[in-house]
């Protein structure tokens, strides 16, 4: 089933803060209009990224999806046009088997880089990135893959 969920409060405490009020108050990603492809992720905190600097940003979100799907994480076009902000990996690819991975529950993080010449200021609740679910194809003659994901390490 394709859906977004909050990470558990235990994971939230490890990755973000021991703050139950914050945990209960943030929103799951949602589309702004019927025609929107992307689900907007909101910032959990206020922060500033200086020109030439980057920042790892926790979303507090994990995503489950159906077989043959992936979630692409892409910066919002207004960030690039207005502020010259970039995701450090340009497009994040969240695989189906990342959901509930044992090391971090599949907690989605993003990393933004300020290529502009002025501070990029974000307030809690601001839309900071968008996620788009897509189908993907595999080659017909692929050998069976038996390995499974067991985790992921956040580099801060």
pLDDT tens-digit profile of 65-74? 999 999 999 9
pLDDT of residue 156: 42
| In contact, 152 and 104? CB cutoff 8 Å | yes
pLDDT number for residue 79: 86
Give the tens place of pLDDT for each residue, 7-16: 999 999 999 9
- β-strands 127-135, 91-95 pairing: unpaired
pLDDT of residue 155: 44
- Closest among 90, 109, 122, 124 to 19, alpha carbons compared: 124
**Cβ proximity of 105 and 8 under 8 Å:** yes
Domain boundaries along the sequence of the chain: 3-135
Name the one residue in this structure whose structure tokens are 């030439």: 52
pTM: 0.89
Q: Which residues pair with 4 in a beta bridge?
A: 63
Which residues neighbour 1 within 8 Å (Cβ) at sequence distance 6 or greater?
64, 66
Question: Any idea what DSSP says for residue 6?
Answer: E
Per-residue confidence (pLDDT) for residue 150, from 0 to 100: 60
Backbone dihedral angles phi then psi of residue 28, each to the nearest 5 degrees: -75, 155
Per DSSP, 56 falls in state E
The architecture (CATH level 2) of 3-135 comes to Distorted Sandwich (2.70)
pLDDT reported for residue 22:
97
Give mean pLDDT in consecutive 10-residue pieces for the chain, a chain of 156 residues.
97 97 97 96 97 97 97 91 90 94 94 95 96 92 74 49
91 class by beta-carbon count within 10 Å (0-12 exposed, 13-18 middle, 19+ buried): exposed
- Smallest CA-to-CA distance from 39 within 73, 66, 64 is with 73
């Amino acid at each position: 089933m394709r859906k977004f969920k909050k990470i558990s409060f235990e994971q939230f405490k490890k990755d973000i803060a021991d703050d139950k009020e914050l945990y209960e108050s943030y929103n799951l990603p949602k589309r702004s209009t019927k025609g929107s492809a992307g689900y907007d992720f909101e910032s959990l905190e206020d922060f500033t990224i200086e020109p030439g600097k980057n920042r790892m940003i926790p979303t507090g979100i994990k995503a489950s999806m159906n077989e043959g799907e992936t979630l692409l994480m892409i910066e919002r076009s207004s960030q690039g046009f207005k502020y010259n902000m970039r995701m450090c990996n340009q497009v994040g690819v969240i695989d189906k088997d990342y959901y509930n991975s044992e090391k971090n529950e599949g907690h989605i993080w993003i990393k933004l880089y300020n290529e502009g010449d002025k501070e990029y200021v974000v307030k809690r609740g601001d839309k900071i990135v968008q996620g788009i679910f897509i189908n993907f194809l595999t080659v017909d003659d692929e050998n069976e893959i038996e390995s499974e994901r067991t985790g992921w390490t956040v580099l801060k």
